[in-house]
């Protein structure tokens, strides 16, 4: 596992002391930052071909979650699989075992060699993992920074893990924090305003192919939210009514077409309509190519070779990449658009800096909470609280008993101290070792809540 | 004379540098300045050719030096005109250095004495030369536009070269402009050939004499005719049109120089 790479290209191996502690102190030692680990691939580390291959279906997600439950020392887990990323978030006391289990599971089910997988994988531990989750939720790590879908996808992934009882105290808290961070980033920065960046990229490219977009006709294949985002800016550059929408569910297509005063067509009509459209945006969930080279080649002649521009934002892809080899036909998939988007990132830098600050703040807050789940600080805080109560009550009582000698007072003080010690004795012992099958973090969290330590 | 030619070359050279600067820095002012500098070069160039015309009494395009001078002049003039009309600023990156190169070549070629004949003063010959040179300059620009098209198409297809993608105009625009240049060039070429035939009839008593130059002129004309026909009938747009424009210009160059250097014909004296 030590040769796995993180985003900076540096080996993200498990530090020796961490893996040691994981093995020697066993599952009952207190929570440590490094227990939270995140392993994954995204659009920055893996090309679309690999992401297509690695994407988890619903059944695969459930199988993997079951596997995590069966793996010793993996306390909590969830899986996020979108078109741009496959990530697995785990809370475990045995990082190397967890990572190995999940890696070999992926390698086996996706028939990909381990070294090949490792080359594209990043692994984060502790606060780095937390920061990554927050960044993903806030759409800062998205291909199109600020795109809103990722939050919904993350919520869905979390729901599945919750339903499968794969999450616990830590992931529940982490995810709820992530959702609120995302909400803050959205409302406090202008990142969300850039959600249409795929649109901008598409328009910028279209303007390098077509002299003017005004008289061009756009065909939308698939009427999802993504498609609508993509088409929004494009449609503003064309004359209204030049939009065709092809969708598997015809009524959904009609609805979207009406919104932009376009027309809905049936999927079967696409090859025929290729003769009259100029720009095609495709975003269906189809596992196969929706438009192939054989559809396009014959139409070029009747189009008199007027250019055709395909924008494929679906993963797996809808448009056969071989179409790009046909003269006057141009295919851009979601990775290709990244190149264009990258150039626009600079203009967003200030907003990103704000968003990153929000993420950093939230990471620190979460880390504080997480570290408070350790036994020693909890017991110290508990004792401090009891001491404070005792001191206050003692001084109140002593004011009424002015006649007592100093040795009498000392006796009272000794008594309260030993009371506190006696009271704390059993809880301390229990918290230090709640039993090997119990999750200590839960009890620590409960204790802190019970005694209202964190307020 | 030489010093004036030197000034012309210097102005064209400055204009070329300005256009190359424009390619990299993308500041409007660079191509605007380059355009005006080229205009200045062209003005001096026009005066020089006009002066020669009146001094010797016939169009100075009878030896290689004069021919190159004239080719550079017509290219600069046609570029200045068409750039103004079609607003293809970036084409200066092609046209200005090409003009400069032609002028440097003219500078290096010694002027061979020409023994003038009364035929040189024929109006048909003057028309033939001027029109053919305008045609050739337009077709040279069509070739340059074709090259720009291929560069931009390559950038879009391979998705890697953001440098040109950002700097060159849209494919459709390049294609349409290139087509316009070919139409202008082809029209001029047709008129130029007709005036040539008329002049041949006056000079040698027949319109067509199976001379190498004539044959190659016809081949060139046919290539451009095919290009235009293909576009109108079969929709040869984009890449194919761009390649045809480049092939056509190569054929044109061969007709212009190659025939004279490699084959025998009645235009021989131009290249001496």
Please give, rounded to a whole number of angstroms, the shortest distance from the CA of A331 to a CA of chain B.
Answer: 8
Please tell me the predicted confidence (pLDDT) of residue B264: 66
Same domain, A221 and A274: yes
Q: Are A111 and A125 in contact (CB under 8 A)?
A: no
Task: Looking at B87-122, list the stretches that DSSP marks H as alpha helix, in order from N- to C-terminal side.
Answer: 92-108
Task: Report the b/e string of B66-83 with b at 16+ CB within 10 A.
Answer: bbbbbbbbbbbbbbbebb
In this prediction, residue A269 carries a pLDDT of: 92
| Domain limit, last residue, from A341, A365, A389 | A341
Instruction: Evaluate whether B100 touches B76 at the Cβ level (below 8 Å).
Output: no
Q: What is the pLDDT confidence band of residue A13, given thresholds at 50, 70 and 90? A: very low
Is 60 exceeded by the pLDDT of residue B151?
yes
Q: Rounded to the nearest 5 degrees, what angle is found at the Cα of A10, between the Cα atoms of A5 and A14?
A: 65
Q: What count of CB pairs under 8 Å joins A to B?
A: 50
Q: Tell me whether residues A304 and B235 touch, CB distance under 8 A.
A: yes
A229-233, A302-306, B152-156: lowest mean pLDDT where?
A229-233
| Token duo for residue A311 | 């924008």
What are the domain boundaries of chain B?
1-121, 122-267
Residue A194: is its pLDDT beyond 50?
Answer: no
Q: A41 - beta bridge partners?
A: A86
Q: In this structure, is the dihedral angle defined by the CA atoms of residues A218, A221, A224 and A226, taken in order, positive or negative?
A: negative
pLDDT in tens, A318-353: 999 999 999 899 999 988 887 767 665 665 666 788
Confidence of residue A240 (pLDDT cuts 50, 70, 90): low
Rounded to the nearest 10 degrees, the angle between the axes of helix B238-253 and helix B212-234 is 170
| A283 in the same domain as A169 | no
Confidence bin at B27 (pLDDT 50/70/90): confident
State the DSSP H helix or E strand holding residue B74, giving kind and residue range, or none if neither. Answer: helix B64-86
Average pLDDT over residues A163-191: 88
Is A83 marked active-site? yes
Q: Which candidate in A14, A48, A83, A220 is catalytic?
A: A83
Instruction: State the virtual CA torsion across A424, A425, A430, A433 in degrees, nearest 10.
Output: 120
Lowest mean pLDDT among A117-121, A133-137, A311-315, B157-161: B157-161
CATH at residue A208: 3.40.50.720
| pLDDT of amino acid A20 | 37
Query: Chain B residues with CB inside 8 Å of A208's CB?
Result: 152, 156, 165, 168, 170-171
Say whether pLDDT at A230 is over 60. yes
All residues at 6 or more sequence positions from A317 whose CB lies less than 8 Å from its CB, including other chains: A48, A52, A289, A333
Q: Which two tokens stand for residue A45?
A: 């580390």
pLDDT tens per residue, range B185-196: 999 999 999 999
Sign of dihedral through CA atoms A397, A398, A402, A408? positive
**Is B53 at the interface with chain A, CB within 8 A?**
no
pLDDT in the model for residue B113:
77
Q: pTM score, two decimals?
A: 0.62
Confidence of residue A175 (pLDDT cuts 50, 70, 90): very high
Structural domain count of chain A: 3
Q: What is the mean pLDDT of residues A76-97?
A: 90
Nearest partner of A53 among A65, A63, A41, judged by Cα: A41
**Strands lying side by side in the sheet with A74-81:** A74-81, A85-92, A36-42, A122-125
**In this structure, is residue A148 part of a structural domain?**
yes
Residue-level pLDDT at A192: 61
DSSP classification of residue A14: P
Answer yes or no: is A7 within a domain: no
Same-domain status, A46 and A85: yes
Q: Which domain holds residue A422?
A: 378-450
Q: To the nearest whole number, what is the mean pLDDT of chain A?
A: 83
- Based on the fold, state whether residues A134 and A242 are members of the same structural domain: no
pLDDT of residue B56: 86
Give B173's pLDDT tier (boundaries 50, 70, 90). Answer: very high
Are the C-beta atoms of A289 and A313 separated by less than 8 Å? no
Rounded average pLDDT over A11-35: 47
Shortest Cα distance from A301 to chain B (angstroms)?
7
Do A282 and A409 fall into the same domain?
no
- Alpha-carbon gap, residue A230 to A36, rounded angstroms: 36
Split at pLDDT 50, 70, 90, the class of A121 is very high
Helices (H), A164-220: 169-188, 197-209
Final residue belonging to a domain, choices A176, A193, A210: A193
pLDDT tens digits, A255-293: 888 888 889 999 999 999 999 999 999 988 888 999 999
How many angstroms separate the CA atoms of A240 and A225, rounded? 20
A205 and B162 in contact by Cβ < 8 A? no
Residues A119 and A63 grouped into a single domain: yes
> Burial code of A70-102, b = ≥16 C-beta within 10 A, e = fewer?
ebebbbbbbbbbbbbbbbbbbbbbbbbbbbebb
Q: Which pair of tokens denotes residue A172? A: 């529940």
ipTM for the complex?
0.88
The Cα of A227 is separated from the nearest Cα of chain B by a number of Å equal to 22
Cβ contact A211–B165 (<8 Å): no
In this prediction, residue A241 carries a pLDDT of 63
């Amino acid at each position: 596992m030590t040769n796995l790479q993180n985003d900076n290209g540096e080996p993200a191996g498990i530090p020796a002391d961490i893996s040691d502690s994981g093995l020697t102190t066993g599952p009952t030692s207190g929570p440590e930052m490094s227990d939270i680990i995140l392993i994954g691939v995204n659009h920055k580390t893996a090309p679309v071909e690999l992401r297509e291959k690695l994407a988890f279906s619903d059944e695969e997600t459930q199988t993997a979650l079951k596997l995590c439950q069966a793996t010793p020392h993996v306390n909590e887990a969830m899986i996020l699989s979108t078109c741009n990323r496959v990530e697995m978030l785990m809370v475990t006391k045995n990082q190397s075992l967890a990572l190995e289990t999940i890696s070999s599971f992926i390698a086996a089910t996706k028939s990909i060699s381990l070294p090949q997988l490792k080359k594209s994988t990043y692994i984060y531990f502790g606060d780095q993992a937390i920061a990554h989750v927050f960044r993903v939720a806030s759409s800062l790590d998205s291909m199109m920074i600020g795109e809103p879908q990722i939050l919904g996808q993350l919520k869905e992934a979390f729901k599945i893990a919750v339903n499968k009882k794969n999450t616990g105290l830590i992931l529940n808290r982490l995810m709820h924090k992530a959702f609120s961070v995302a909400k803050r980033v959205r409302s406090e920065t202008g990142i969300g305003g850039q959600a249409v960046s795929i649109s901008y990229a598409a328009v910028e490219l279209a303007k390098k192919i077509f002299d003017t977009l005004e008289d061009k006709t756009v065909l939308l294949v698939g009427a999802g939210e993504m498609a609508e985002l993509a088409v929004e800016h494009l449609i503003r550059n064309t004359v209204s009514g030049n939009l065709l929408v092809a969708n598997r569910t015809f009524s959904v297509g009609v609805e979207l077409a009406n919104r932009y005063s376009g027309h809905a067509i049936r999927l079967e009509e696409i090859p025929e309509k290729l003769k009259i459209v100029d720009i095609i945006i495709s975003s269906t969930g189809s596992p196969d190519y929706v438009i192939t080279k054989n559809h396009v080649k014959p139409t070029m002649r009747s189009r008199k070779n007027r250019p055709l521009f395909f924008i494929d934002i679906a993963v797996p892809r809808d448009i056969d990449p071989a179409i790009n080899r046909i003269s006057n036909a141009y295919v851009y998939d979601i990775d290709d658009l990244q190149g264009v988007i990258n150039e626009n990132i600079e203009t967003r830098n200030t907003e990103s800096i704000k968003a990153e600050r929000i993420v950093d703040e939230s990471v620190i807050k979460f880390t504080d909470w997480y570290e408070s789940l350790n036994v020693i600080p909890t017991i110290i805080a508990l004792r401090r609280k009891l001491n404070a109560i005792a001191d206050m009550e003692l001084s109140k009582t002593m004011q009424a008993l002015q006649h007592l000698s100093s040795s009498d007072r000392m006796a009272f003080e000794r008594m309260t101290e030993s009371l506190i010690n006696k009271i704390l004795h059993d809880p301390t012992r229990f918290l230090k070792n709640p039993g090997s099958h119990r999750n200590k973090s839960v009890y620590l969290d409960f204790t802190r809540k019970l005694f209202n330590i964190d307020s | 004379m030489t010093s004036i030619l030197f000034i012309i070359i210097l102005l064209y050279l400055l204009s070329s540098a300005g256009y190359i600067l424009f390619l990299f820095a993308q500041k409007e002012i660079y191509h605007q300045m380059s355009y005006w500098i080229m205009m200045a070069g062209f003005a001096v160039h026009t005066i020089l050719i006009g002066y020669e015309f009146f001094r010797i009494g016939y169009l100075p395009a009878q030896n290689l030096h004069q021919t190159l001078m004239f080719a550079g002049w017509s290219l600069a003039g046609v570029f200045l005109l068409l750039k103004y009309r079609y607003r293809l600023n970036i084409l200066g990156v092609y046209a200005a250095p090409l003009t400069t190169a032609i002028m440097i070549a003219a500078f290096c070629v010694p002027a061979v004495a020409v023994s003038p004949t009364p035929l040189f003063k024929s109006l048909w010959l003057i028309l033939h030369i001027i029109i053919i040179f305008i045609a050739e300059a337009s077709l040279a620009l069509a070739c340059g536009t074709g090259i720009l098209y291929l560069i931009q198409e390559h950038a879009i297809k391979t998705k890697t070269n953001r440098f040109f993608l950002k700097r060159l105009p849209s494919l459709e625009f390049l294609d349409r402009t290139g087509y316009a240049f070919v139409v202008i060039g082809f029209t001029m070429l047709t008129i130029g050939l007709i005036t040539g035939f008329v002049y041949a009839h006056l000079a040698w008593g027949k319109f067509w004499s199976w001379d190498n130059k004539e044959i190659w002129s016809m081949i060139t004309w046919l290539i451009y005719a095919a290009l235009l026909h293909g576009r109108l009938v079969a929709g040869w747009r984009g890449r194919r049109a761009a390649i045809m424009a480049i092939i056509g210009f190569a054929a044109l160059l061969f007709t212009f120089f190659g025939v004279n250097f490699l084959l025998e014909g009645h235009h021989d004296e131009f290249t001496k």
